[in-house]
Structure 1
């Protein structure tokens, strides 16, 4: 079956915003962080990018629980409208913190459309590769969002740890601090990065001290670390998978389309449900 994907960014910022990390208009490739990493999965497929619903939390990237909640609600209208067009057989929600994902799956199931998201896809992929994974993440507030997702996705027995690099997103609250964007640009410029060195050290600690057997990256702004972090770990003898969310979510979408499924109608019932249960389990 041919793939017809819509990739939906978490939010969009106006041209005047001072904390833009990607384009929100123009070529679809320019609206994807690290598009060169995704190209092999998307080459030859039908796919579009939605820049994301206009941000109402502020003109900066999302990092706090409040901002994730607001962004998730805003994104549901985009998902609903995309499903109603009938143009797509899967929707991939971009952004490492999965805002609006669970609710979007409910919308998708009403239309028979698979919905995937980055953290959810990474955790499930990691579960196929080993018993336990660790999350390498960017900042204290973002760590707590990832911890919430570990609990929500019932991965507490699989998650060995969440390790904090403390290179936060560029935001007014972090003015004057070195951000993940600063480090990404530095690495692209001269192949050196303090954030990378910290990610290597924390990944080794996750393996040696926490029992991690694979590594996933928490924030989409840090997905640029994936190939170089995996290489650096391999160079010192650690044969450990390192995952990033965009490719995991796209690959998961392909799998669901190939299987002809989107979500369980018991877990995500239609409105109204065709059958109901007297007893639920948690």
Structure 2
């Protein structure tokens, strides 16, 4: 039975299979390699989708977290997206990864081929502002917080973002604290145990609501997206009924909406090399 959509999902980067810092599977069928597949599979039910593992990280064998690493990941992902667009096989491109490296550049490429490109931070922020006056971001490390801070400004949501809340569970990398492991905390939580990371995320979400004025909760790094049901349930138990978003489902659903509406980014935002019309002045 044919599906309604044909999407290309591409990870921000990949790591060698023997890396000691793996935070998601890099081998097996696409359903195994797509992080938190069980949480987003309903959003993919009407989608015929391909998954690209992402370009192998050139900076080292650990996940991307700081600005230098994001820049390198962006440069490596751009040609993958161009090749997918040139194939003309897809209705939309979905960039995976909370920090969305290369998003603006990939949107520029996609527009040339009439293919919408969505990404996780951008999509979460847009949906969040449909649902409440202000949103907060639960994120995992100081360097990533400040990278994400710039994304919020770049996407012009600085007046709608209440705060970024740091739970201080960095991605695995050389010199990191082995006792603050996202993978270990995820395993504890999924097995019904008492996870300090989950408890901290819930506590920071409560503080975002009570102290910062957040009415919607989102997540920064995609390594935290699994927290969504735990934070949602934890808040409900405390009496807080607020929307909780994660990037994969938002990016997939935004891509569907753009395909359904037959729209893409403005060519004034991403002008071609030789535009038929040009503006003498750009105002702020």
- TM score, norm. by length of structure 1: 0.97
Distance 1:162 1:24 in 2: 30
Q: What do residues 210-248 of structure 1 show as CA deviations (whole Å, max 9, x unaligned)?
A: 000000011111111101211110111111111000000
Match of 2:228 in 1: 226
- Following superposition, the deviation at residue 175 of structure 1 comes to 4.3
Match of 2:144 in 1: 142
Question: What SS is found at the alignment partner of 1:243?
Answer: coil
Contact 1:116 1:249 in 2 (8 A): yes
Distance 2:236 2:48 in 1: 35
- Following superposition, the deviation at residue 274 of structure 1 comes to 2.1
Distance 1:36 1:180 in 2: 18
Distance 2:123 2:258 in 1: 12
Distance 2:167 2:226 in 1: 14
Kindly indicate whether residue 187 of structure 2 is the aligned counterpart of residue 178 of structure 1: no
**Change over 3 Å in CA distance of 1:175–1:232 after alignment to 2:** closer
Contact 2:17 2:27 in 1 (8 A): no
Give the length in aligned residue pairs: 282
Question: What SS is found at the alignment partner of 1:169?
Answer: coil
Name the Cα RMSD after superposition: 1.2
Distance 1:149 1:233 in 2: 26
Match of 1:130 in 2: 132
Aligned mate of 1:165, from 164, 167, 179 = 167
Aligned mate of 2:155, from 153, 156, 160 = 153
Match of 1:24 in 2: 26
The correspondence of residues 1-282 of structure 1 with structure 2, limited to 5 A, is 2-282=4-284
- Following superposition, the deviation at residue 197 of structure 1 comes to 0.5
- Following superposition, the deviation at residue 2 of structure 1 comes to 2.5
Distance 1:118 1:269 in 2: 23
Contact 2:4 2:46 in 1 (8 A): no
Instruction: Give runs of ≥4 in structure 1 deviating > 6 Å.
Output: none
- Of 138-147 and 18-27, the range deviating more from structure 2: 18-27
Contact 2:5 2:46 in 1 (8 A): no
Contact 2:198 2:231 in 1 (8 A): yes
- Following superposition, the deviation at residue 115 of structure 1 comes to 0.3
Q: What do residues 152-184 of structure 1 show as CA deviations (whole Å, max 9, x unaligned)?
A: 001110000001000111111314341222211
- Of 177-186 and 241-250, the range deviating more from structure 2: 177-186
Question: What SS is found at the alignment partner of 1:208?
Answer: helix
Gapped regions of structure 1 (runs ≥ 5): none
- Of 271-280 and 121-130, the range deviating more from structure 2: 271-280
Gapped regions of structure 2 (runs ≥ 5): none
